[in-house]
Amino acid sequence: MIAIVKYNGGNAVSIQNALYRLGYKSCITNDIRIIQNADKVIFPGVGQASTAMQFLCEHKLDKELRKLTQPFLGICLGMQLMFEWGEEDGGSQGLGIFKGEVKKIEINKF
């Protein structure tokens, strides 16, 4: 079973629908026991980094997600939050699974 981390950020249902079409069983959850026992974990994302991290911390998912040993895929915001820090929305702490910072892409104006 594939656990899709619920943290009140965007596209979890889209991910679940895609997995269903591919023939995989999944569930959207913030229950750490289910996440810990899943074969694989997907950390999707659309939303604001600071709000997402606040939800993860309030539900004690921040500490537990760092301990996972099974395959753990971050998508978009989910991947950004796997780093130590991100510049999005004024700067936000991440989970620190990967060392480094997520930087904004500089756009040159002509």
* Per-residue pLDDT tens digits for 57-105: 999 999 999 999 999 999 999 999 999 999 987 889 999 999 999 998 8
Interatomic CA distance for residues 6 and 8, integer angstroms: 6
Interatomic CA distance for residues 105 and 70, integer angstroms: 31
Task: List, in sequence order, every residue forming a beta bridge with 83; answer none if it has no partner.
Answer: 98
Residues in Cβ contact with 85 at an 8 Å cutoff, skipping those fewer than 6 apart = 91, 92, 93, 94, 100, 101, 102
Write the Ramachandran bin of 67: left for phi over 0, alpha for psi from -120 to 50, otherwise beta. Answer: alpha
> Residue 41's pLDDT band (boundaries 50, 70, 90)?
very high
Instruction: Give the model's pLDDT for residue 46.
Output: 86
* Residue 54 CB neighbour total at 10 angstroms: 16
Question: Higher-confidence residue: 64 or 106?
Answer: 64
